[in-house]
């Protein structure tokens, strides 16, 4: 079964609001075996909404719409739906009771709010228990269109509680199964070349996707069809992939490196700190984004100046004079210093030239030294590439985490 998503609102097209609804719905639909063909965003214009609906209904089994259902004049989705399905708006007492319940004690009931109870006559109406905009479910020629509120939390509630279970029943036993692997030590083109024979021999029902990110690649196998048969086919291909890549597979799930590090630290009952110069605390931010990180993460020192490196991390001035802040010797000292001063078992440190300026012939922009220590063990890595400040910092953070993960393994 195939779906198309339509999001309505000028704010989406001018960048004032980011369309998170489509990504959430696409993932949710995929879990129940419905493939999204296309995502379209349209302005709050009557004719453009109708055109988008017409195109979607011609190629998809399911059309999901969000937005344009509010009480103000720029919310015109219901009127457009009425014109497309050749119907009219009628007052719905069930929706009106829900509107009064939602507004009670918070917002006065006025004419605009009361008009939220106007719904297309020939659709199935589904109440929105967390908002005033109801859901309209249309059936035409064995296809469905579902119009939902654009507020993300409201959309997620009605999708989870009402829409997805109904769509899953319509879709029957067909399903989509994803298997994702986290891969290190390969550029995308090199990995693709290494997997050519295996990828070419994949069954027709299994597709492979490469999802590169700074420093790592996610490989996603997707199988569509009968669940039991697809699981059997996937197990065979997963086994073959492991034979090819071995320890370069660092996870058999769509998880982050920082999650893997947290699990390892917790298992080993070890603690971690970071000392960061060019990454500006972004490594610590990634680690602390994981719930429960206080079990193992103690803190970070962001040491941009040599003065802070010396005073807070005990870096010897002689090292800085002899080797410079961007050097293997200094990042080792930074990692040792933060581990000692914050009393942690492990530490990672970064020092580099993120850019766009500050480079020299010996140390061009993009040069980053990284060190990781765990007890008496020390590992270092020199990053040498320049893809712009933002990418240089992101890649350095990933390489720092990968270096630490290697030690914890």
Q: Is residue 408 over pLDDT 90?
A: yes
Inter-residue contact 369 to 328 (CB < 8 Å): yes
Reported confidence tier of residue 72, pLDDT bands at 50, 70, 90: confident
In the prediction, which pLDDT does 263 show? 97
At 58 the pLDDT is: 96
Give the model's pLDDT for residue 74.
Answer: 85
pLDDT at residue 89 tops 80: yes
Look up residue 161 and give its two tokens: 């509680």
Q: Which two tokens stand for residue 402?
A: 């990968």
- Alpha-carbon span 135 to 69, nearest angstrom: 9
Residue 178 has a pLDDT of 87
What's residue 242's pLDDT? 96
Distance CA 347, CA 338 (A): 7
* The Cα angle at residue 332 between residues 330 and 337, in degrees rounded to 5: 95
Give me the mean pLDDT over the 250-266 stretch: 95
Q: How confident is the model at residue 264 (pLDDT cuts 50, 70, 90)?
A: very high
* Spatial CA neighbour of 75 closest among 138, 121, 9, 20: 9
DSSP structure class, residue 294: G
Does domain 257-408 fall into CATH 3.90.950.20? yes
Residue 143's pLDDT is: 96
- With a cut of 70, say whether residue 150 has pLDDT above it: yes
- Asked if the model's pLDDT at residue 215 lies above 90, the reply is no
Tens digit of each residue's pLDDT (9 = 90 or more) over 162-174 = 999 999 988 776 6
Give the per-residue pLDDT at 73.
85
Separation between Cα atoms, residue 163 and residue 211, nearest integer Å: 29
Residue range 294-305, pLDDT digits in tens: 999 999 999 999
Neighbours of 107 (CB within 10 A): 11
Residue written as token pair 């011609």: 58
d(CA 390, CA 387): 8
Q: So what's the pLDDT on residue 176?
A: 81
Condensed to tens digits (0 to 9), the pLDDT of residues 310-343 reads 999 999 999 999 999 999 999 999 999 999 999 9
Q: Give the list of residues 6+ apart from residue 84 with CB closer than 8 angstroms, or none.
A: 50, 53, 54
Distances (CA, A) of 199 to 60, 88, 203, 210, 244: 29, 53, 9, 11, 11
| Selection from 73, 77, 68 nearest residue 46 by Cα | 77
Task: Identify whether 356 is preceded by a cis peptide bond (ω within 30 of 0).
Answer: yes
Q: With bands split at pLDDT 50, 70 and 90, how would you rate the model's confidence at 194?
A: very high
The pLDDT score that the predictor gives to residue 173 is 63
In this structure, are strands 62-66 and 143-148 parallel, antiparallel, or unpaired?
parallel
Average confidence (pLDDT) over 89-110? 93
**Average pLDDT, rounded, for the chain:** 95
Task: Render pLDDT for 115-128 as a digit per residue (tens, 0 to 9).
Answer: 999 999 999 999 99
Q: Residue 32 above 90 pLDDT?
A: no
- Among 3.40.980.10, 3.40.1400.10, 3.30.565.10, 3.20.10.10, name the CATH number for the domain at 2-171: 3.40.980.10
Q: At residue 181, what are phi and psi to the nearest 5 degrees? A: -125, 140
Residue 174: per-residue pLDDT = 67
Q: What residues does each domain of the chain span?
A: 2-171, 174-251, 257-408
- Classified by CATH at the fold level, domain 174-251 comes out as Alpha-Beta Plaits (3.30.70)
**Residue 137, beta-bridge partner list:** 124, 146
Q: How many angstroms separate the CA atoms of 390 and 130, rounded? A: 39
CB atoms within 10 A of CB 384: 11
| Cα(117)–Cα(302) distance, integer angstroms | 55
**Token pair listed for 56:** 């979607």
């Amino acid at each position: 079964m195939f779906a198309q998503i339509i999001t309505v609102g000028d704010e989406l097209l001018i960048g004032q609001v980011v369309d998170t609804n489509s990504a959430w719905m696409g993932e949710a639909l995929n879990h129940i075996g419905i493939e999204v063909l296309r995502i379209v965003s349209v302005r709050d214009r009557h004719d453009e909404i109708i055109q988008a609906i017409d195109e979607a209904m011609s190629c998809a089994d399911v059309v999901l719409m969000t937005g344009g259902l509010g009480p103000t004049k720029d919310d015109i989705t219901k009127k457009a739906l009425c014109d497309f399905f050749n119907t009219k708006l009628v007052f719905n007492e069930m929706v009106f009771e829900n509107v009064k319940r939602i507004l009670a004690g918070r917002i006065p009931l006025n004419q605009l709010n009361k008009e939220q109870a106007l719904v297309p006559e020939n659709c199935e109406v589904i109440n929105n228990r967390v908002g005033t905009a109801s859901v309209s479910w249309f059936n035409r020629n064995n296809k469905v269109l579902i119009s939902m509120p654009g507020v993300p939390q409201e959309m997620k509630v009605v999708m989870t509680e009402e829409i997805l279970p109904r769509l899953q029943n319509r879709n029957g036993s067909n399903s989509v199964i994803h298997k994702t692997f986290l891969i290190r030590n390969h550029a995308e083109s090199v990995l693709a070349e290494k997997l050519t024979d295996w990828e070419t021999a994949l069954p027709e029902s299994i597709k492979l996707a490469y999802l590169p990110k700074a420093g790592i690649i996610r490989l996603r196998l997707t199988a569509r069809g009968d669940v039991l048969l697809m699981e059997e086919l996937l197990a065979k291909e997963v086994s073959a992939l492991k034979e090819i890549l071995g320890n370069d597979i660092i996870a058999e799930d769509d998880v982050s490196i920082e999650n893997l590090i947290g699990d390892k630290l917790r298992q080993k009952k070890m603690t971690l700190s970071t000392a960061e110069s060019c990454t500006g605390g972004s490594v610590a931010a990634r680690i602390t984004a994981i719930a429960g990180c206080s079990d193992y993460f103690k803190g970070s020192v962001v040491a941009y100046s040599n003065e802070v490196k010396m005073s807070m991390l005990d870096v010897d001035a002689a090292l800085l004079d002899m080797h410079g802040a961007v050097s293997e010797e200094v990042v080792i000292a930074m990692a040792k210093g933060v581990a000692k001063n914050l009393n942690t078992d492990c530490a990672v440190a970064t020092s580099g030239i993120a850019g766009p300026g500050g480079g020299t012939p010996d140390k061009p922009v993009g040069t980053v030294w990284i060190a990781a220590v765990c007890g008496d063990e020390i590992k270092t890595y020199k990053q040498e590439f320049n893809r712009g400040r933002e990418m240089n910092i992101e890649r350095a953070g990933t390489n720092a985490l990968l270096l630490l993960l290697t030690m914890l393994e």
